[in-house]
Amino acid sequence: MRFLLILAPLALLAATAVDPALGDAQGYGVYRAHPDAIQWHAVLLHSAWALYVPGLLALLAPIRARGAVLARLAWVAAVAGLTTFSALMAADLWILALEQNLPDDAVRRADEAFQALPWAQRGWQVPGLAGWALALVLTPIAAARARVIDWWTAGAALLGTALYFLFAISPLPLSLTGPAVMLAAYATAALRMRSPAEGPDAFGRFVDRAGRACLVAAPLLFAAGLATVPGFSPGLDGSLAHPAQAQASALLLHLSWLACIPVVLHLTRGPRLWPRIAGAVTALALVNFSGLMVGDYTTIAAATALDRATAERVDATVGGYSLFALGWVLPGMALTLLGLIVTAIAATVTRRARWWTPVLTAAGVAAFLVLGVGPLSLLSPALLLAALAPLARSDRPAQPITAAPPEPAIPAEQH
């Protein structure tokens, strides 16, 4: 997954280069004037942060004892915070759809309604922004502390991050300085990563325990998200009648897919290449898929600030963006559901699970697709729980890595 450390800042550089809302071009109406550029910017920016999630995890993976505390914090920030932050890029496409259907004063009302949703603030914006910043700051420091990369590379990564924080919406070419420095730094990190000195694998044990916990937490959060859908109906009526419950349901579903990221990485770890590739692709798909839950919040905000018909028209406009559908929605959903099955197969092939694990996983995915939302939909997380939960108890944990004992010295011949 280390090559993602090159693709992520490259996507960030491209997203910044095509952004029409730089410098003095701020405020409502800019998106309306540049619809194609905004679509490319939103999808590329989301892709950049999504690629950073498995990329940063790959940079943290060699850490053992030295730097383990910082690595744990960075790991949580990347999995929980950066994934959530990447989802917020969908709001740009929603703003574009609003501007293409409504005057600026109506766009402002809807946007302010979205910003004011309590679950959007506490469940998405605050942890997303915090996790985004912490992941980008702590990961290179932890890697340098563990001697996975040198301090010059870590310093360059932090410099690029600081430049991006400062000049992300400045005019070109100033806005490109941060992504360009990040690209150089993370490309160097990807090409020059080192394995640290052997020793107790404290960070590996943390990742192992997190993966085991998520084997149970992911299907339980999935069940909670489905069970709290107002009236067991995905329609707008239930969301408007119970907006807080609808927001909680969307957040729980987001968290369930987010918790699947440690699951697939846990099930596919090991020396074989194809399971690790399958795990990385599925983790990236999960970042895409989990982000779609933010659409429930934008729909509620539009219907609350405007009216139901307008909210549905705006949703239809967003769904009509081909770049969004082909570059985000379809690969996110298809590769997530297929990837969950493939990773379960990988766990069986590598003898870390029995044959019924992929069978139950495939049945759970099929139940999700066939049953949709409703009381019977709880069969899907129940099947996934039956498939994954036993692995949390029986799966072999990561073993501490210790130095090999020295070979016994051969005594010199005596004459």
Q: What is the pLDDT of residue 180?
A: 97
Q: Indicate the helix (H) or strand (E) that contains 284.
A: helix 273-291
Q: What is the pLDDT of residue 25?
A: 63
Give the predicted TM-score (pTM) of the model: 0.89
Q: Residues 343, 275: contact at Cβ < 8 Å?
A: yes
For 362, the token pair is 């495939």
CA-only gyration radius of the chain, Å: 23
pLDDT tens per residue across all 415 residues of the chain: 788 999 999 999 999 999 988 876 677 888 888 999 999 999 999 999 999 999 999 999 999 999 999 999 999 999 999 999 999 999 999 999 999 999 999 999 999 999 899 888 888 999 999 999 999 999 999 999 999 999 999 999 999 999 999 998 899 899 999 999 999 999 999 999 888 766 788 999 999 999 999 999 999 999 999 999 988 777 777 788 888 999 999 999 999 999 999 999 999 988 888 888 999 999 999 999 998 889 889 999 998 898 888 888 999 999 899 999 998 999 899 999 999 999 999 999 988 888 999 999 999 999 999 988 878 889 999 999 999 999 988 555 433 333 344 444 444 444 3
Q: What is the pLDDT of residue 273?
A: 87
Residue 197: strand, helix, or coil: coil
Q: What is the pLDDT of residue 269?
A: 87
| End-to-end Cα, the chain, rounded Å | 58
Q: What is the pLDDT of residue 307?
A: 86
273: Cβ contacts below 8 Å, ≥ 6 apart: none
188: Cβ contacts below 8 Å, ≥ 6 apart: 149, 153, 156
Q: What is the pLDDT of residue 414?
A: 43
Residue 405: strand, helix, or coil: coil
Other C-beta atoms lying within 10 Å of the C-beta of residue 152: 11
- Domain extent listing, the chain: 4-394
State how far the Cα of 311 lies from the Cα of 388, in Å rounded to an integer: 38
169: Cβ contacts below 8 Å, ≥ 6 apart: 19, 21, 22, 23, 26, 175
Burial class (CB in 10 A: 0-12, 13-18, 19+), 169: middle
State how far the Cα of 221 lies from the Cα of 394, in Å rounded to an integer: 22
Q: What is the pLDDT of residue 135?
A: 96
Q: What is the pLDDT of residue 395?
A: 53
Q: What is the pLDDT of residue 100?
A: 93
Other C-beta atoms lying within 10 Å of the C-beta of residue 24: 8
State how far the Cα of 332 lies from the Cα of 87, in Å rounded to an integer: 12
Q: What is the pLDDT of residue 198?
A: 67
Q: What is the pLDDT of residue 270?
A: 82
Q: Residues 260, 288: contact at Cβ < 8 Å?
A: no
